[in-house]
Chain A
Amino acid sequence: MSAGMYSEKVMEHFRNPRNMGEIKDADGVGRVGNPVCGDMMEIYIKVENNRIKDIKFKTFGCAAAIATSSMITELAKGKTIEEAENITRDDVAEELDGLPPIKMHCSNLAADGLREAIKDYKKRIKTK
């Protein structure tokens, strides 16, 4: 399969991923995917006044998995928890000028990863 399958925007995010890394004292962490399937992603969020103040990711996977991770951090940063929760897989793909059809399901995990991180955050404030 050739690079022709990926949009220039996917390649740009793959080349220069934004917000890469971990947040040591994160308020919520989301883990999705499975290395057995070839894609696995961790999303870390820091929340202040119900807004995502900081967000970082770590991803094992193909170029599409890395680009969608990078894109979700850009989309979610500064958003309220409710706004961030509403970001869908399709939003991520659309912002990247589309993904190859075969990648829509397996590698487009970032929106799920963010929702998991928010779920984790909500669970933590409940138990506090």
Chain B
Amino acid sequence: MKRIYLDHAATTPVDREVIEAMLPYFSKYYGNASSLHSFGREAYEALEKSREQVAKILNAENKEILFTSGGTESDNLALKGVAYKNRDKINTNGPHIITASIEHPAVLETCKYLEKEGFKIKYLSVDKYGIVDLDELSESITKDTFLISIMFANNEIGTVQPIEEIGKIAEENNVIFHTDAVQAIGKIPIDVKKLNVDLLSISSHKIYGPKGVGALFIRKSLNIKPIINGGGHERGLRSGTENIPGIVGLGKACELSRERLDGDIIYMKRLRDKLIKGVLEKIEESYLNGHPEKRLVNNAHFRFTAIEGESILMSLDEKGIAASTGSACSSKELQPSHVLLAIGLSPVEAHGSLRLTVGRENTEEEIDYVIETLPEVVSKLREISPLWNKI
């Protein structure tokens, strides 16, 4: 059976060119970048070349890029690194950190952890599209607030936040601004010189690079505390021998993403719009979650009345189509997605959700197949559903 991968928000295949770039760094150039001999220098050169490739896609300076194990570590380092630098504020009224209710768990759970340590966190609500209220943000800032962390684009519903405006508010109030750009990178042009962003997290495996590697942009004027201590790698902010093959892969993936960005945006948007139009036209009582325009170019997020997302996902899987859902039945906690509840969906509506995220390698024919297959899957499940006839 032909398989169609439509879960690029979860992860992407590694680009052939990225693999080629990485391969020599396993067994030929295997040195430790801290070693002074020629083996070490080869690794060091690769490390710094990758740093430049990552810096370029963000229009950052090389020294502002720090390598991590991925998006989750980057978010942890940004939030804890800034919070620990501001420990003296812990006994003030707060809020110390302002974030949004729809953040990725890497940010939300880190905030909850910091709350246990005594920091006070404000979780901003969002509108029905998932966009934060800028007035609420401004009003929430006090003299005790030292950090705002709001994601660039949402991993579930694809909603893109007004990052430039948030940056301005942060700047006016002299508050540090972090954004999780894991989903945005490679789909939205990002220029840290134009945005007033102080910290920005990215991950390699969302942009056709390998898993287990990411980066954190840290504005050069900003001082944070490390969360991993050891041999003092990465300017003392992230100890541990650098994952050179992974970092080389991330660098190459950034270079390719930068070169292909304009084309990627046009192509993925075309596939996404075809998919959204086809599904909404062909399936009655189907709805788009998230913002109609302010959304990632590769994200289509639907909900279907009277059926449950995991059974849609499993039925599509049987037909070779890989998707994702925010239904409780597919989560370890058996709770519907916090993002879908935050945009005001009822739990029943949230259970009926389906996320399809396209990528560079998808084709028009694949989208045609999905538009043909999904209505069959939905009507079969509705036939079994006790809720369908009654609505």
Contacts and interface: CB of A to CB of B under 8 A. Distances in A.
**Are A and B genuine complex partners?**
yes
Interface in A13-62: 14-15, 17, 20, 31, 35-42, 58-62
Given A38-B328, A61-B311, A62-B327, A20 B383 contact: yes
Interface stretch (B207-215, B264-272, B330-338): B330-338
B387 A35 contact: yes
Contacts of B317: 3
A102 interface: yes
9 contacts: A1-B330, A3-B317, A17-B384, A35-B347, A35-B351, A36-B348, A59-B385, A60-B308, A66-B311
A107 interface: yes
A106 interface: yes
Contacts, number: 76
A11 B387 CA distance: 22
Interface string B256-275: 00000000000000000000
A63 interface: yes
B334 A102 contact: yes
Nearest to A59: B384
B314 interface: yes
B64 interface: no
Interface size class of A (residues with CB under 8 A): 20 to 34
Contacts of B318: 11, 15
Given A38-B327, A60-B308, A63-B311, A106 B387 contact: no
A63 B334 contact: no
A17 B346 CA distance: 28
Nearest to A57: B384
Interface string B35-56: 0000000000000000000000
Contacts of B311: 14, 61-63, 65-66
A106 B310 CA distance: 13
A40 B387 contact: yes
Interface size class of B (residues with CB under 8 A): 20 to 34
Contacts of B307: 60
Given A36-B347, A106-B334, A20 B310 contact: no
Contacts of A64: 329
9 tightest CB-CB pairs across the interface, nearest first? A62-B329, A58-B386, A62-B310, A63-B314, A42-B386, A38-B328, A60-B385, A36-B347, A35-B348
Nearest to A33: B386
A64 B306 CA distance: 17
A58 B348 contact: no
Interface in A63-107: 63-66, 102, 106-107
Nearest to A107: B329
Contacts of A60: 306-308, 384-387
Interface in B155-184: none
A63 B347 CA distance: 18
B329 A38 contact: yes
A37 B307 CA distance: 13
Interface string B333-353: 010100000000011100100
Given A38-B328, A38-B329, A102-B334, A58 B384 contact: yes
Which of B318, B330, B385 has the largest number of chain A CB atoms within 10 A? B385
A66 B328 CA distance: 16
A1 B10 CA distance: 12
Contacts of B383: 20
Contacts of A14: 311, 314-315
A60 B330 CA distance: 14
Given A3-B317, A15-B318, A35-B351, A62 B385 contact: no
A63 B348 CA distance: 16
A88 B113 CA distance: 42
Contacts of B308: 38-39, 60-62, 65
Contacts of B327: 38, 62
A1 B318 CA distance: 14
Contact of B310 (A11, A58, A63): A63
A1 B332 CA distance: 9
Contacts of B306: 60
A3 B316 CA distance: 11
Contacts of B328: 37-38
A65 B385 CA distance: 11
Contact of B329 (A11, A41, A42, A61): A61
A38 B351 contact: yes
Which of B314, B330, B383 has the largest number of chain A CB atoms within 10 A? B314
A106 B329 contact: yes
B330 A20 contact: no
Interface in B349-369: 351
